[in-house]
Amino acid sequence: MTNPYGGESSFPPGLVSAAAVQQLASTKPWVRFVSVMTFIGAAFMLLVAVGMFFTSISMNSAGGSVMAKASSNNLLAGNLGLVGLGSFYVVSAFIYIYPGVKLWKYANCIGSLLQSGSEADLVAALKQQRSFWKFAGIMMIIMLVIFVIFIGFGVVAGIAVASHAR
């Protein structure tokens, strides 16, 4: 079997071709990079969430001094807003971790494929890739549904405001 990138194939017949392995091998550094970036993004989200929670706590403890001019309702609304947004960031961080793990495993499976050239390692790599894209597709559907709901609420709110203005 001839390797299109020069030289003879290092894999015996019946295993994954060297050309297929080479194509996957060329994606491995990028897959690993994106995986690491998702972990870093999740860590930053968690740091922002912790900052929001501490800000909320400090607003409560400084309620008599720094926030003395603000009404207690505004202070409570600000705290609930920070806690709610912080909670959103925590949930988002954990959602980011799953695709990062799938990409990390995919890169590991590509490494195993580079060592063995076996079809089983190719199937394992493609399984991890499929899981990543399935998750990405489900998240896209969820986001589209949320967008449609927000657009619907916007239209309803616009009609309500226009009808009250008459």
For the chain, the domains span 18-134
Judge contact between 42 and 36, C-beta under 8 A. no
- pLDDT tens-digit profile, the chain (166 residues): 455 545 454 555 557 888 889 999 999 999 999 999 999 999 999 999 999 988 888 777 665 444 444 555 555 556 777 888 899 999 999 999 999 999 999 999 999 999 998 899 999 999 999 999 999 999 999 999 999 999 999 999 999 999 987 7
Judge contact between 100 and 71, C-beta under 8 A. no
Judge contact between 52 and 79, C-beta under 8 A. no
pTM score? 0.73
- What are the tens digits of pLDDT across the range 62-93? 654 444 445 555 555 567 778 888 999 999 99
Largest CA distance in the chain: 81
